[in-house]
Amino acid sequence: MKPPKILAFVMAGGEGARLSPLTAYSSKPSLPFGSRYRIVDFVLSNLLNSGIQSIYMLVQYKSQSLIEHVRKAWVVSPMRNEEFVTVVPPQMMRGGDWFMGTADAVYQNINLIQLHNPDLVLVFGADHIYRMDIQQMVDFHRERKADVTVAALPVPLEEASSFGVIDTESDGRVADFKEKPANPPHMPSDPTRAYASMGNYLFDAKVLVEALKQANDRDEHDFGHHVLPHLKDTHRVFAYDFATNKVPGTKSYEEPAYWRDVGTRDAYFSAHQDLLGLTPRFDMFNPQWRIFSSNYQGPVARLFDAKVHNSVVAAGSMVRQASISNTIIRREVIIEEDVEIEDCVIQDYVWIKRGARLRRAIIGGYNVIEAGTHIGYDRELDSRRYHVTAGGVTVVGPGEVTSSMRAFSE
């Protein structure tokens, strides 16, 4: 079969309210993740590694930091018109409204589909941590002559009520969509698990355009709640089992079909812990399927008489006679003498002064932690000064920095 022409929309407008105060100055997809990435880098890397290079990123809330990141890190090819990652804010081309939902966001940019005239259109979220060879989903879609394919993650049946669940026939054809059902239907092949929607969709382009127009006429704006439930009754809609996706270079010790929605502070913290150890659940080192990000030009990390256990210290950071364990230290962090840090995530440009003690905490970028400060040792005190999650993680929001520094720092 002739390879299809594919256009991708990345939905990167999420406000990330459940991640507050980390999202005080930037959207959820723009948040730092791991030692050198941002959340949005994962979906973009999956697309490029899969050979999909025509990408529009739809942004909305607090988007400047994300726009600057894409400008600096995601220049694909200025010589070929079909190879691009382009940020598209709300254009107000069909009225004065911002995007009112995922389907409305694509509908407001329907002219871009008409401009490129693709065979297939991908609509993927920008909020998740995972690796995926999207061409395998494309092959599944074409083999079944599907009009729409929805990426589906097998989850334990007892956890499925927290997700949008897909009820399928034995061949994968979608019978129904159920939003957080009390009694979720199990997978045809496994009575212990259910299919959870990953929010990643593949459409026949003509079907998508017509469906978006009809949804707009009905004043409906969301793919999961509106467009897909209508299409399953009139078109061939299939669920693609993400567990069958095989990414080159994945290690035997990694969690199969690793995928995390890091939409809460506890989930964000937990996913960082998955990166640590000799056999991490999600190993960031995979030369066959790289996660790309900005090309930081600063110096390497420097450690002076420091004790570092099961941790990552990013470029430009300096650690002096401190003790660090089970922690991710991002770029250009200064850690002074007699500091102890355990089970933490320290974001960019943080200065932690002499004698500080940090445990089970997320420290937002640009903070100064004063000498002798204790965080993570007294929950009641932390709750008065900072934010403490249900899981007991203390979250310190980003420090006060001028907007120009925050938007343009990389």
Contact assessment for residue 184 and residue 194, using Cβ atoms and an 8 Å cutoff? yes
DSSP SS3 for 407? helix
Element (H, E) at 109: none
Which of these, 13, 5, 34, lies nearest to 274 by C-alpha position? 34
What are the phi and psi torsion angles at 183 (to 5°)?
A: -125, 80
Please name the residues in contact with 31: beta carbons below 8 A apart, sequence gap of 6 or more: 16, 19, 22, 23, 38, 39, 262, 268
DSSP class of 245: -
* Burial bucket for residue 81 (CB in 10 Å: 0-12, 13-18, 19+): exposed
- The token pair at 333 is 């962090």
Please name the residues in contact with 94: beta carbons below 8 A apart, sequence gap of 6 or more: 107, 108
Spatial distance between the Cα atoms of 151 and 134, rounded to a whole number of angstroms: 10
Q: What is the DSSP string of 162-176?
A: GSEEEEE-TTSBEEE
As a three-state string, the secondary structure of 281-330 is CCCCCCCCCCCCCCCCCCCCCEEECCEEECCEECCCCEEECCEEECCEEC
82 appears as a binding residue in the annotation: no
Spatial distance between the Cα atoms of 312 and 283, rounded to a whole number of angstroms: 12
162 appears as a binding residue in the annotation: no
Match 């999600």 to its residue by tokens.
282
164 appears as a binding residue in the annotation: yes
Which of these, 68, 70, 65, lies nearest to 55 by C-alpha position? 70
Which of these, 145, 184, 192, lies nearest to 168 by C-alpha position? 184
Match 């290690």 to its residue by tokens.
251
Spatial distance between the Cα atoms of 264 and 269, rounded to a whole number of angstroms: 9
* Burial bucket for residue 403 (CB in 10 Å: 0-12, 13-18, 19+): exposed
65 appears as a binding residue in the annotation: no
DSSP SS3 for 344? strand
Q: Which residues carry a binding-site annotation?
A: 164, 179-180, 197
Q: Which residues carry a binding-site annotation for alpha-D-glucose 1-phosphate?
A: 164, 179-180, 197
